Amino acid sequence: MSRNLDEFDKLANEGLSYPDTEYFCNERPKPYEPYPRILENFLNWARANSLWVLGFGTGCGAVELNPLMTARFDAYRYGIAMRPTPRQSSVFVIGGYASVKTLKRIVRSYEQMQGPKFVIGLGSCTINGGMYYDSYNTINRLDHYIPCDIYIAGCMPRPEALLAGFAKLKTLIKSGECDGANIYARNFDWYKANQKKVIKDWNMPDYNW
């Protein structure tokens, strides 16, 4: 059966009513074009010293995020602040295992963040599945679904390890090496293919390109 060409441009959730339709975008992400070198270096310095964090605690990983903001560890002195929504954040911290059901929310939150944006995988579960490596309901490698700039190994890493990870992220941002958002845009089809192998009930834009 032949299909009209216009049908390929439609989103799978086109039938949603307003304002739900405003929550989704039917455009592919575009790579970030850096400014001239001197200006880009200054912007990277500013980005590195003002990290607005969206903490996505999927399980035990969330336990170690809260102490960062207490007086003992005081992450605010490093320019680290927690934010409530993806659109306000520049750093996405995935704390703990990612289940098949959770992955859809992770992808949606990541795509709502403005670029340049950075991702920290917190705990061994984001690297190789950790203690859930052979589970039917968890993913083993976060970087197959969204790009990951820093991994912090451990089960679970202590707050000191988190601060060390943020310090490493700052160094990479200042040197212009945190290019995950551009990698995602340039390899968008590969990431989407991996996501769709796992997420069956998509309920998100279907990207029919």
d(CA 56, CA 84): 10
| pLDDT tens-digit series, residues 110-155 | 988 888 899 998 888 888 877 888 888 888 888 899 999 999 888 8
| pLDDT tens-digit series, residues 55-70 | 888 777 777 788 888 8
| SS3 category, 209 | coil
pLDDT of res. 208: 38
Phi, psi of 39, deg, nearest 5: -65, -40
The pTM assigned to this predicted structure is 0.81
Instruction: Kindly state the tokens that stand for 164.
Output: 């060390």
d(CA 6, CA 55): 39
CATH number, domain 45-198: 3.40.50.12280
